[in-house]
Amino acid sequence: MMAVRQERKLRISSVVRTAMLVAALIGCWVGLAPLGAATTERIVTDYHTGLALSGFDPVAYFIDSKAIIGHPELEVRFAGATWRFRNEGNRAEFAAHSEIYLPGFGGYDPMALTRGVAVPGHPEVWLIAGKRLYLFRKSETRDAFAADPDEFIAAAERHWPEVLRTLVP
């Protein structure tokens, strides 16, 4: 029984390593360094902790206009991820209006999506456009996006259903 569990664990570990290698290669192919978050999720989460936004408070982007790390004692489990908040008010606001605070495209970089590629955005490289939070892998892609967000959002939306089908539910 123990040998079977160990063998299964090794197989799963091998699959995860392969997925991370493919994600790294895709990142290199599009000129991006790997971030470390798995790219097989509908919402980008940290593979080890299950945290969305690497533990940053999704409401703080809107309220405080900056990325603020949340507290472990103020967590909510939603959409397959754990979300952290800096205070009770932000946690309550997220619980009441999560559709407003969820990052666009699940936290994937919309500029990469315009090329049909799922690249996790970095929670400290962000922009609010059209009342929606978007995360980017690099500040250069964020700056390019900011020049014409409507055009890039439309392009990313065209590719999103196709990319979404490749992500594990």
Kindly write down the DSSP assignment for every residue of 50-102, as one continuous string.
-BBGGGB-TTHHHHTSS--BPEEEEEEEETTEEEEESSHHHHHHHHH-HHHHS
List CB contacts of 90: < 8 A, sequence separation 6 or more: 57, 59, 60, 63, 70, 74
Q: What is the DSSP letter of 107?
A: G
The CA distance from 128 to 88, in Å, is 23
Contact assessment for residue 67 and residue 61, using Cβ atoms and an 8 Å cutoff = yes
12: containing domain: 2-166
How many structural domains are present in the chain? 1
Model confidence at 34: pLDDT above 80? no
pLDDT digits (tens, 9 = 90+) for 96-134: 999 999 999 999 999 999 999 999 999 999 999 999 999
Going by C-alpha positions, the residue among 165, 60, 40 that lies closest to residue 108 is 40
> Average pLDDT, stretch 33-45?
55
Lowest-pLDDT range, 37-41, 58-62, 109-113, 115-119? 37-41
Q: What is the four-CA torsion angle of 56, 58, 59, 65, rounded to 10 degrees?
A: 70
The CA distance from 50 to 53, in Å, is 10
Model confidence at 18: pLDDT above 80? no
Going by C-alpha positions, the residue among 155, 17, 46 that lies closest to residue 107 is 46
pLDDT at 3: 52
Model confidence at 147: pLDDT above 70? yes
pLDDT digits (tens, 9 = 90+) for 69-83: 999 999 999 999 999
Model confidence at 9: pLDDT above 80? no
pTM of the entire structure? 0.75
pLDDT at 7: 52
Beta bridge partners of residue 51, listed in sequence order: 82
Contact assessment for residue 23 and residue 31, using Cβ atoms and an 8 Å cutoff = no
pLDDT at 1: 55
Q: Is 35 strand, coil or helix?
A: coil
> Average pLDDT, stretch 130-146?
97
